[in-house]
Amino acid sequence: MAPESRAEVVHAISDLLDSHCKVCEAKTEHHRKYGGNTSFITHHCSKCPIGIELADLGKRLGNHVRSRKKISQDEQSNSAKLPDRDTLLSLLAAGKTLIQIEDELDLTIGSLNYRVDKWGLRGITPAEAAGMLEEPSVPRETKRERKKTTMEKTITKEQYLARRLDGEKRTNIVRSMGVPTQKAYNMLKEWGIKEIDAEERELEIYAAGLAKATPEPIPAPVSDGADLAGQLEPQQDDLALLQEELQQEREAHGRCMQQADDFAASLSDRDRLVAELRSKVADRDSRIADLEAEVDRLRVDAVTADSSDQRLLELQAEYKRLEAKFQDVYLANIDLQKQAAGFIQLRLPVIPADGPNVQRAMIYELIETLNKSVEPAVIERGDIMLRMFELLQQMVAFVTADMAELLPGQDLTVPAQRFFEYHNARYIQATAVQKEVS
């Protein structure tokens, strides 16, 4: 059965907190991992069946309790309805609770709390209220007289120890003494019981003395159910307000933690952007260094190119001179070919080659190989002719490699043919001269 009254709702909330939330394993694990961060546990409670039930009970409790803002707005209208001390005592003597009195007088919930505390009526029984009605009214003390009386309130060491044995907390006793806190603790220091362990020893001694002086304990008076209900009702009201304030504090704390998480995430994004920008700057610096190195290399190449251009001009002038001389020898060779007979013509392919120095080294190797082929007693003519043609072919490669530097990017077939025709003509001319001399 669902709770209907405000008290039943408060009791239901307390039972759920005690039986489930205090022993919740998820809550314990959350505190172990995250400490005071409530973002995870709030997310967990919103999906937990117990958390859903607590939320529903909180909504029901909100239907019974008005907000503080509403109470503050209604205070002015309630001031005319507030009862005086005698009227309130008569209603309490009739066995009515504060909530019943507020409902009867059409007051907002909690309107009587200030007057109850002011007149010292918190937690009194109907019998005590009736006794207070019979007592003559005492004239109200002035503020200075009340302060002087409060400062004179004190208790003895035995009274303090007796109240501690009854289970009353030290802070409650100090607060009820009516003196400043520092003065109260100075009294405890004078008694030698300011420290907890010293107080426990005094309590043991005091309890032993009471046991000897009083063999049989006097049973404490037991309040009836109505008195207990009357005492619990205002405490339940305070509990409900405290639970509501606690829930609001939790929600505010959760919002603060969410804002902190968002701020941390924004800082992480900013750090990542800074890292990317630094990486780009480093790449740009590396690129600038590479470009500067390339500029230096191009400057060196430019100096080398100037010397290469000078060499090229010299080679071109030499080529023109050789070409003119070749033309003269070529014409003379034609005349000799017309006059002479019995020549052997050889055909070798013109193959472009690079590196005159490399070709020169290969010529030396072929000459050595040809020498080895001629040395044996029995000469292999086929092998000798093969080595000779390889040597001639290597000469052609040497000439084309040399011409490639002189005529870069041009077809070297015709220049190579003219070169060999020129030197062939010179050889024929030299042979003819030798014949005439002989």
Per-residue DSSP letters for 170-182?
A: HHHHHHHTTS-HH
pLDDT the model gives residue 333: 62
Is this prediction's pTM over 0.75?
A: no
Among the candidates 162, 189, 214, a domain finishes at: 214
Enter the tokens of residue 178: 């009516």
CA proximity to 173, closest of 186, 152, 159 = 159
Residue 151 lies in a domain: yes
Buried b vs exposed e over 152-189: b needs ≥16 C-beta within 10 Å? eeebeeeebbbbbeeeeebeebbeebebeeeebeebbe
Both tokens of 127, joined, read 């019998």
> Within 13 A of 359's CA, how many CA atoms are on the CB side?
21
Per-residue model confidence (pLDDT) at position 38: 63
At CA 184, angle to CA 180 and CA 190, rounded to 5? Answer: 145
Q: Which domain holds residue 412?
A: 340-437
Q: In angstroms, rounded to a whole number, what is the distance separating the alpha carbons of residues 366 and 394?
A: 8
Q: Give the CA angle between residues 229, 234, 235 to the nearest 5°.
A: 90
Q: 78 in a domain, yes or no?
A: no
pLDDT of residue 361 exceeding 50:
yes
Cα–Cα distance for residue pair 339/323, rounded to 1 Å: 24
Whether 295 shows a pLDDT value over 80: the answer reads yes
Residue 255 lies in a domain: no
Single out the residue in 170, 191, 214 at which a domain terminates. 214
Q: Classify residue 331: in a domain, yes or no.
A: no
Instruction: Compute the average pLDDT of residues 332-344.
Output: 60
pLDDT digits (tens, 9 = 90+) for 109-120: 778 888 888 888
Q: Where are the alpha helices (DSSP H) in 340-407?
A: 356-374, 381-406
82 within a domain of the structure (yes/no):
no
Of 195-209, 211-225, 323-337, 400-414, the least confident: 211-225
Cβ–Cβ < 8 Å for 165, 203: yes
Residue 379 lies in a domain: yes
CA distances from residue 246 to 14, 58, 250, 252 in whole angstroms, order as listed: 13, 12, 6, 10
Of 79 and 353, the one with more pLDDT: 353
Q: What is the pLDDT of residues 369-409, one digit of tens each?
A: 888 877 776 778 888 888 888 888 888 888 888 888 888 88
Total residues belonging to the chain: 438
Q: Which of 184, 214, 244 is the last residue in one of the domains?
A: 214
Domain-embedded: residue 88:
no
Flag whether 377 is in a domain. Answer: yes
Domains held by the chain: number = 2
